Chain A
Amino acid sequence: MSESQWITAAKRGDNDALAHLLQENYLFVLKYLLKITLNRTSAEDLTQDTMIRAIQKIHLYSEKQSKFSTWLITIATRLYLDDRRKRQRESALLYEAADTRNLKWQMEQTADPWPELIDALADLQNDVRTAVILKHYYGYAYDEIAKMMKVPSGTVKSRVHHGLEVLRKESLQSEK
C-alpha cells in the first residue's frame, strides 16, 4: 500500500492505517523535536502530543497542501513554540536557553565529541533555532516555514539570517 492509500484509509476511520502512518513517521518527528528542543524528555513528550494531535485532526489533513511528514512537522513546531511560550509566561522569564546537559552526558558515553556548535544553537531563541533548523537542515522554503510558524515570510528570513550570524560568530570564536 502506498502512503496515499494509508492516508485515505486513515481519514475514513481505519485505526490500523492511522497507527501504521504514525509508526512510520514517529522517528522522523522525534529526531526533529530533539534537534529543536535539545532535550530528550521534552522531545519524547512533544512527539507523543504530536501523535495525539494528528489522531484528533487527521480529518483536516489535505494531501494537496503538504506531505504527511510535513504536516506532522507543522503540528510539532506549533506545539513546541506554544509550550515554550506557556512556560515562559508561567515562570515569568523573558527567555530560557535550552538545557543540553542530558544530551551532553549521553553523548559523552559514546565515542563522539560534543559539537560546540550545538551549544551556540542552544543559546539561540527558540523561534530562531527552529527557523534555522527547518531552513538549513530540512531544506524547507521560507514560505513553508512561515506557514508552519504562523509568521510572515520576512520574519522567518530575518530570524534565519540573525541565527546564522550568531552561529558564525560563535564558530569563529571557538576556532580562535
Chain B
Amino acid sequence: MKNNGSPFNGGRDSISNDRDVTPRLSDAIQKLDDLLPESAPGLHLFRNLVQETKLREKRRAIRDLVLFLMMAILILAGWALSLILNPEVFVRLLLVFSALSVAGGIVGVVQAMLRNRGETSQ
C-alpha cells in the first residue's frame, strides 16, 4: 500500500520512458479536482445515510427470513402430506431429492476444481 491521497509519485516500478507522459498526465488529472466542491456534505447527511441503509438491510433480512421460513414450512408440509397420504410417493420423492443433492454436490466440486485449475494456469 502506498500513497492514498497524494498525486503522482513517479511510479516506483514503472518503465523509465513513461516519465515523459506521466507527469503531464498527472497534471491534467489534477485539474479535474478543481471542478469538485472543496468540502464534503454535512455529517448529518452521512448519519441519515447510515441509519437508512442499516434499516433497509434489517428489513431485507427479516423479509428473507420470513420467505425462507414460509418455503421451509411449505416443503415440510408437502413431505408430511405425502408421507401420510401416499408413503410410496414419499419414498420416491426422497430418492429423487437425494439423487439431485448428490448430483449438485458433484457438479459443484467439479466446477471448483476447474476454476482452481484455470486460476493456477493464468
Contacts and interface: CB of A to CB of B under 8 A. Distances in A.
Answer whether A and B are interacting partners. yes
Interface of A: 15-16, 18-20, 22-24, 26-28, 30-31, 34-35, 38, 40, 51-52, 55-56, 66-67, 69-70, 73, 103, 106-107, 110, 112, 115-118, 121, 132-133, 135-142, 144, 152, 160-161, 164, 167-168, 171
Interface string B18-49: 10111011111101111111111101001101
Contacts of B53: 52, 55-56
B10 to A, nearest CB: 8
Contact of A118 (B9, B12, B29): B29
11 contacts: A18-B46, A23-B41, A27-B37, A31-B36, A66-B1, A69-B5, A136-B18, A137-B8, A137-B26, A138-B3, A138-B4
Given A19-B49, A70-B1, A142-B13, 20 more contacts: A19-B50, A23-B40, A26-B41, A30-B36, A34-B32, A35-B32, A38-B32, A40-B36, A52-B53, A67-B1, A69-B4, A112-B31, A117-B25, A118-B29, A139-B9, A140-B1, A161-B15, A164-B15, A164-B18, A168-B21
Contact of B43 (A23, A69, A140, A144): A23
A30 B28 CA distance: 17
A9 B8 CA distance: 33
B4 A136 contact: no
A15 to B, nearest CB: 5
Contacts of A38: 32
B50 A55 contact: yes
B40 A27 contact: yes
Interface size range on B against A: 35 or more
B54 interface: yes
B22 A136 contact: yes
Nearest to A44: B36
Contact of B50 (A22, A35, A66, A110): A22
A137 B4 CA distance: 10
A33 B6 CA distance: 15
Contacts of A31: 32-33, 36
